[in-house]
Structures are given as structure tokens and as C-alpha cells.
Amino acid sequence: MAFLPNARRSALDGWLNRLVAHPGFQEFANRIPVFRSFARRDGAEIFDIVQGFVRSQVLSALVTLGLLEKLVDGPASPEMLALGSGMTHERMTLLLKAGVGIDLLKLRRDGRFSLTRRGAALVGVPGLRQMILHHGAFYRDMGDPIALLKGEAETELAGFWPYVFGSDTDPDVTRTYSDLMADSQSMVARDTLATVSLKGVRHLADVGGGSGAFLAAVAADYPEIELTLFDLPAVMPSATERLAHMGLSHRIALKGGSFREDALPSHADAISLVRVLYDHDDDSVAALIRKVYNALPAGGRLIISEPMSGGRTPDPITDVYFAFYTLAMRTGRTRSAEAIQAVCEQAGFSAVRAHRPKRSYVTSVVEAVKHG
């Protein structure tokens, strides 16, 4: 259909949509073998979308009760797993069978349950359990998606990530979100460093670096690079503690400050922004990129790593999950690599390059160079 004029293509699309949407056609399709498989597949996939929230809540229940961890060492009966849960073994069986339905558990012939490969992998992903538990707030924010889209909803996520509003926060609140970010950052760091080479970099400053998870990964791969972490002063105690625990206090310098108000670390020939831009509005992002450009020397590099929209080809993860998550934060949004490239070029960067993501649900990477 690519060769048809736009008006004729649109008319044909409309005719096909009306045909497929007609109940009579659906009945006809289910009677004809050549169409039956398509109709049934469409129906199953539509219902999978409908039940998506229930699937996520089953996952939440399994994780909250620690059932996956209890099954790591081997199968167990519903009666055993129900102990201490406050529910009958019949209700536990209902939950466990739902776990089979989402391919995290297997039901054995002897009536006991065990982990699937996916269930075991979920246990092994750093920070995933904490992220799943955290999603209670996001799901409540999504309870009225129309109000969220209209900007009428007061959201819990805006309170959980208060740093996006540019203010320092209570140390206990800061520790909560810093720990959550750090726990989920190992995959981001791994994919980022597998995408870009830091060979030739003398000094890397990670702006908005939280408690240092990304720089810890850099330190392991590039022992010769000087490293500086820049984040809000309230984040510094958490970063100090985490880096000391990892034995990296001597490797990573800490600098507290706000990128809105304070100077960025000087003397760095590379600056990274890892999961920073999508937390903030367009004006804040443009101002930050200009500030990074001014802080870098000629030949300096900017590395941006975060989940990005698919742009003209919407991504099934970033344009669904991350788009609404950042909307619920109330200040950010998921941008395409092309949009980020444009902001970098407007700030003066050249040789701006978007890398093909290895896992779009983890991160995508854009690099830019400041030419003198």
C-alpha cells in the first residue's frame, strides 16, 4: 500500500477497519479456517491486554509474600507456602496457579510448585523485587488514566521523587529513592558500558549520579579514569556509605550541588547523564545540556543513557510504561533519541550519535562531542 496516494491509502485503511470491526465479519472469520487463526490470535492478544493489570497484581502478591525466594531451593506444597501468610492453602493454591499462568511457576504432578526459568531469573535480577514493590504507587496513580492525562490527578510518584522539583529533601526520603535507583542501575550501567567506549577519557563526571552505581561500574572497567559524582547534597550521605561499602571511597570524588543552581564539576572531559533527562521538563533539559556544553572542554564528550521513546516508530515498552511513569512523576517525559539529539545540537554539540539499544526497556544511549 506504500505506492498509493495518501488520500486513497487512508480511505482503504478506513474501509478495512470498518470491515474488521463489524461483528458480522468477526463471526464470519471464526467460521472460515483461513481467517480463524487470525481472529483467535487477535482475541487472545486483546484479552491479554485486558488482564494485564491482574497479571501485574499477581506478580506483586508473589513478590510481596517472598514466594519466589522460598522456591529457589526446590519445590514446595501450597500448605507449606501458606504458613505464616495469613491465608488458607486453598487461596494460596489460587495464587500459585496464577503464577503458573504468568510463567513464573510450574505445577508438578505431586501437587507441589516450583520455579520456571523466568521465575528464577526474576529472583536474580538486582533491584527488581524492590522495583515491583514500588509499583503500588504507580498503579494507584494509573487508577484514573484520563485524569492523569488531563493533569488533574495528584500523584504519589511526584511525592516519591521530590528531587525532580529542584529542591533538596529529607534525608530519609532521599535514601529511599537513592537506594531504589542504585538497585536498578546495574543493568543500566552494564548496557551503557557495552554500548560506548570510554577509552581516552581522562576524567568522567556523572551528573545526577545518585549513590554512585554507574560510576562503580565505570571504576571496575576503567581503573585509570578519574571519577566525580555530582548530585544533591542530601544524596551525599547515601553515596558516601555505599561507596565506602564497595571500597571505592578513594576512587570517586563526591560533589554536592544542584545542576539548576550550582556549577558542574570542572576539569572533566566527559560528562554522563544516566536516567536524568526523562525526569525533567523540556526547559530544564535544555538548560542542563547547555550547562554541560559550557562545562566541557573542546573535544569533551556527553553521554546520555536512559529509556527513550521510539519516536516515529513507537516502542512497545518505552512508549507505554515509561511514558506514563514519567507522566505520573509530573515533571518529566520520555523523549526519542532524535529529540535528545536535537537538544544537544541546539546547545552546540556536534557529532551527535544515537546508538541502537540493546534492551530498550533498560536504556538507550546518545553520545555528543563538543568541537572547539
Separation of alpha carbons 18 and 3, rounded Å: 22
| Matching residue, cell 545526577 | 208
Separation of alpha carbons 296 and 288, rounded Å: 12
What CATH number should be reported for the domain whose range is 52-124? Answer: 1.10.10.10
Average pLDDT over residues 164-183: 55
Give the pLDDT confidence score for residue 269 in this predicted structure: 97
Confidence tier at 216 by pLDDT (50, 70, 90): very high
pLDDT tens digit sequence for 315-329: 999 999 999 999 998
Strand 364-369 vs strand 270-274: parallel, antiparallel, or unpaired? unpaired
Separation of alpha carbons 258 and 232, rounded Å: 5
pLDDT tens digit sequence for 22-57: 666 556 656 666 556 666 777 778 888 889 999 999
Least confident of 40-49, 161-170, 236-245, 261-270: 161-170
pLDDT tens digit sequence for 95-147: 999 999 999 999 999 999 999 999 999 998 877 888 888 888 899 999 999 99
Separation of alpha carbons 141 and 323, rounded Å: 13
Cβ within 8 Å of residue 126, ≥6 positions away: 183, 184, 186, 187
At residue 335's C-alpha, the angle toward residues 170 and 122, to 5°, is 65
Strand 301-306 vs strand 364-369: parallel, antiparallel, or unpaired? antiparallel
* Burial of 33 per CB tally in 10 Å (0-12, 13-18, 19+): exposed
* CATH among 3.40.50.460, 3.90.1640.10, 3.30.200.20, 3.40.50.150 for 131-369: 3.40.50.150
For the chain, what is the mean pLDDT? 88
Of the candidates 345, 363, 347, 365, the one whose C-alpha atom is nearest the C-alpha of residue 355 is: 365
* Interaxial angle between packed helices 128-141 and 52-64, expressed in degrees from 0 to 180 and rounded to the nearest 10: 130
Give the pLDDT confidence score for residue 17 in this predicted structure: 61
% of residues, the chain, pLDDT over 90: 69
| Matching residue, cell 488514566 | 145
Separation of alpha carbons 137 and 274, rounded Å: 23
Tell me the helices (H) and strands (E) count for the chain, helix number first: 17, 9
Separation of alpha carbons 90 and 125, rounded Å: 30
Prediction pTM value: 0.84
> 336 has which bridge partners?
309
**Domain boundaries along the sequence of the chain:** 6-50, 52-124, 131-369
Of the candidates 247, 202, 249, the one whose C-alpha atom is nearest the C-alpha of residue 229 is: 249
